[in-house]
Structure formats: structure tokens, C-alpha cells
Amino acid sequence: MPKVLLPIGDGTEVLDTMYPYFRLPEDGYQVVVAGPEARWYHMVIHEIPPRSDPPWDITRESPGYHLQAAVAFRDVNPEEYAGLFLSGGRAPEYLRYDEHLLAITRHFFQTEKPVACVCHGIEILTAADCIRGRRVTTVAKCRLDALQGGAQYLDQPVVVDGNLVTARTWHDNTWLLKHFVQMLKQSQVCQ
């Protein structure tokens, strides 16, 4: 069964992460969760509360589920994986400093394997210098991260550019996974 790497950390967004975690096996892909260490991680729920008084200008963070990383970034051999899925939440804010994760990320671009990225995951792509000259989308508050990474930002649900498919938030998961699964299948055919 081909494997897809799913990096997480404390503060990983629940829906950004759990949708691909359960969706990808439906098409025959094993999802391998990786983190700074092989341990349990605390996920969070990011939502702008509806009808709150006073209203929120940005997402509120609430505790979510927990998910175990099976492997530490330093022990990942990226050659064993068919694709990479970068989820959002606050985790990318500190995961982008992990040199092992950045090297893993660069591998997927150097080998042109499929990469999916949603929301704050763009921070990892920018830190790895993998989006320069590409077209991407992300959550509006990370637009600057995309621009600083040298990408062209588009405010639309999904953007496909070569081996990369990006989405704004978990609200776009259906379209993001549709394109990512197509890319994975096409990549497998070409091998």
C-alpha cells in the first residue's frame, strides 16, 4: 500500500488533519503520521464563532482530539512515501523550524511527488523555500507567508500548480482531497 506522510505537532487543526487521515485510506493509501517525536499530540479546533457578541476577527482555538505520531521527523525516509500532506493549525508556526521536516518537504519537490497543503501548512512550504514562482492559496491570514515565499497568492478554494495542490481552510477539504488523490494516482501510474 503506498504511503502518504502527514506531519503534525501540538496545535495541529483537527479537520485539516483528520479528513485526510480517514479519507486517503479509502483510495488505498496508508497515512503515516509523523511529528518532532513519536508521541501523542494535542490537536485544536479553529473556528470563527458564529453569532458571538462581541464578534471575533480571527479564529478561536479550542481543544480537540489527540493523535499519535508513529515516527519522528528525523527517522523518516521520504523515499518511502508517495505523497506529503501538510495540514494547518498553529503547529506549522513551530514545525517550520525543524530542519528534518524541511529536508523531507524539499525531497517531495525535488522528486516532484504530490504535495497537498491547507491553511497554515503554507508556513512550512515557505520555510523550505518550495513555493517560489508557484501559484498557491491559503487561509487569508497566511497570504503574507505565501508572498514572502515568492508565490503568487490566489483567493480561491483550491490551486493546483505542478505537483502541489493548496487549499485555504478545512472548508475546502473535499476539493483539496479530490485533486490530491488524482495526483497520487497519476504519480503511481507514471512510476
pLDDT tens track, the chain, 191 positions: 999 999 999 999 999 999 999 999 999 999 999 999 999 999 999 988 888 889 888 888 899 999 999 999 999 999 999 999 999 999 999 999 999 999 999 999 999 999 999 999 999 999 999 999 999 999 999 999 999 999 999 999 999 999 999 999 999 999 999 999 999 999 987 76
pLDDT for 84: 98
pLDDT for 173: 97
Q: Which of 101, 99, 85 is nearest to 30 (CA)?
A: 85
pTM of structure: 0.96
Centre a 10 Å sphere on the Cβ of residue 38 and count the other Cβ atoms it contains: 14
Domain 3-190 has CATH 3.40.50.150: no
| Encoded amino acid at 188, one letter | Q
Active-site pick, 42, 46, 100, 120: 120
Pairing of strands 83-86, 3-7: parallel
Known catalytic residue at 179: no
pLDDT for 49: 87
Domain positions in the chain:
3-190
pLDDT for 191: 64
